[in-house]
Amino acid sequence: MAQQTGQSYVMREGSQVTRGFEAQTYNIMAAMAVAGAVISTLGPRGMDKMLVDSTGDISVSNDGATILRKMDIEHPAAKMIVEVAKTQDAEVGDGTTTAVVLAGELLRQAGVLTEKSVHQSSIIKGYLMAAEKALEIVKDMGVEVTEKDTAMLKKIAGTAMTGKDTENAKDFLSDLVVKSVAVTMQKDAAGKYYVERENLVFEKKKGGDVTDSKIIEGVLIDKGKVNFQMPSRLENVKVLAMDIGIEAKDTQFDAEFKIKVPGQFKQFADMEDRQIKEQVDKIAKLGVKAVFTTKAIDDLAQHYMAKYGIIGLRRLKTSDVRRVAKATGGSLVTNLDGITPADIGTAGLIEEITVGDDEMVLVSKCKDKKVTSVILRGVSEHILDEYERGIDDALHAVQNSIKDGKIVPGGAAVEAEISLRLKQYAMTVKGKEQLAIDAFASAMEVIPKALATNAGLSPIDMMIALKSKHGAKDGKNFGLNVYKGKPMDMLKEGVVEPMKLKTQAIQSATEAAIMILRIDDILAAAQTKNPAPGRR
């Protein structure tokens, strides 16, 4: 066979191929850059980030999920790290920064090993062994908690809100969160408690103080009645939730009407009016006194509804109308002709209330007592957004703790214990996997070091103090108290987190690191240029 010379090109001109160690280095550096962008936000003394989008809108936050979601990231490996944050947020609702920082540090440690000629397959195997052992350690540290332990649940909520803008009202909001969970909590088929998040909605209203926030049983709609002549308060009401409008029916196809005689236009208008009146009459005959719809309510329909003493709200969010249907025991109606008594809900009270400067409608004393609303007050939209994010984290933390029935000490106590015990475990493993397990253990130290650094403390001194405590008997619950600048028993201090937060962060970070370590080539296609306008 004749020997061929020269280079063969299998990709389009302009494509880029990065191979081997260079490709791995680029990926690791990209992952570390993402982790570096959020590491300073970690912990009670973490800093905020100012985010400016392409339109010039500014937002300030120290929430890892929010920061990464708004960052305009292009690098493929960096996007994979962002996926870690999304997974963590979807599964647990908190701990996104921990997961991303841990993934970045695992890759940095892997980069050090590859420079020492340790093959990726050995690193991956060692990381998998270390992750499995780490999860066992976390479970050993778990402390049981139940839905009845209100004091502990408040501490869980408080820990989740620490370091955010909600911290100044942490005690009040923790109490609000736990009460909200208690109202909306349900049992599943296995007898375990869970919180149906759709049953709990926060309505943000600018003005007042956060302590003016309150829980309201029922559905709160952020709109007033459509017509001032409609009643403002009704008791023992039949309720209709609709996904259709009360207006003249449009033709199915575009049509053109030619008026030849002057009276024909009036006949056409009268026909539309009759259609609208018939729809309102049909609703009134069903005994309905409150209508909530995602679509429009014609002005004439409003007039007839007011005469019948029916309150109406239009152009609502579908989620709000569904909540009304669920709370009142009705159904979401899509056709007036096919309404049955089962489609109509009931409410003990419907009233229009004033919150701040706005009118809102409250549907209360419903069949489903689990449907609840919370009015959240704050001095500005930015503060309200941060309150909402903090409360959302706290709700997830309390919910996960109740569902799994296990919590762990905070303040990086878990990471410090894992680091210590993994180093001991590494000594029992033969081969190059030992180096990977030891690197995994060192990577876990990035969390307590970041907490110390962000609080202005010496990370070296704090790690020495933490290792000393964890090396002693009954020291596994000691974490870093950044306010006092020393390790303390986090369970006694009331700094606790859901166990699932830690297990999910370890799993997500390890999987992302391994996925990136498996990549040895980057094949980037040539960028397609759009033709100039007017040219083909």
Catalytic residues: 63, 96-97, 393
Q: Can you tell me the distance from the alpha carbon of 526 to that of 524, in angstroms, rounded to the nearest whole number?
A: 7
Alpha-helical (H) ranges within 351-404 are: 381-404
Burial class (CB within 10 angstroms; exposed 0-12, middle 13-18, buried 19+) of 355: middle
Question: How much is the CA Rg of the chain, to the nearest whole Å?
Answer: 30
**What is the residue type of 235?**
E
Give the end-to-end CA distance of the chain in Å, rounded to a whole number.
Answer: 45
Q: Can you tell me the distance from the alpha carbon of 312 to that of 479, in angstroms, rounded to the nearest whole number?
A: 55
Q: What are phi and psi of 462, to 5 degrees?
A: -70, -40
Q: Can you tell me the distance from the alpha carbon of 526 to that of 117, in angstroms, rounded to the nearest whole number?
A: 32
Q: Can you tell me the distance from the alpha carbon of 255 to that of 260, in angstroms, rounded to the nearest whole number?
A: 16
315 Cβ contact list (under 8 Å, min separation 6)? 223, 293, 294, 295, 296
Q: What angle do CA 455, 458, 464 make, to 5 degrees?
A: 120
Q: Can you tell me the distance from the alpha carbon of 91 to that of 500, in angstroms, rounded to the nearest whole number?
A: 9
320 and 292 Cβ atoms separated by less than 8 Å: yes
Residue 350 to residues 237, 292, 371, 373: CA-CA distances in angstroms?
A: 7, 12, 15, 14
Two structure tokens written together for 140: 């050993």
Q: Can you tell me the distance from the alpha carbon of 30 to that of 45, in angstroms, rounded to the nearest whole number?
A: 26
446 and 105 Cβ atoms separated by less than 8 Å: yes
Which helix (H) or strand (E) element contains residue 236? strand 233-242
Q: Can you tell me the distance from the alpha carbon of 180 to that of 185, in angstroms, rounded to the nearest whole number?
A: 8
Instruction: Pick the closest to residue 153 from 476, 389, 490, 407 (CA basis).
Output: 407
Residue 145 to residues 50, 195, 406: CA-CA distances in angstroms?
A: 37, 16, 6
Neighbours of 311 (CB within 10 A): 25
Q: Can you tell me the distance from the alpha carbon of 136 to that of 353, in angstroms, rounded to the nearest whole number?
A: 53
Two structure tokens written together for 516: 């990136």
Which helix (H) or strand (E) element contains residue 494? none
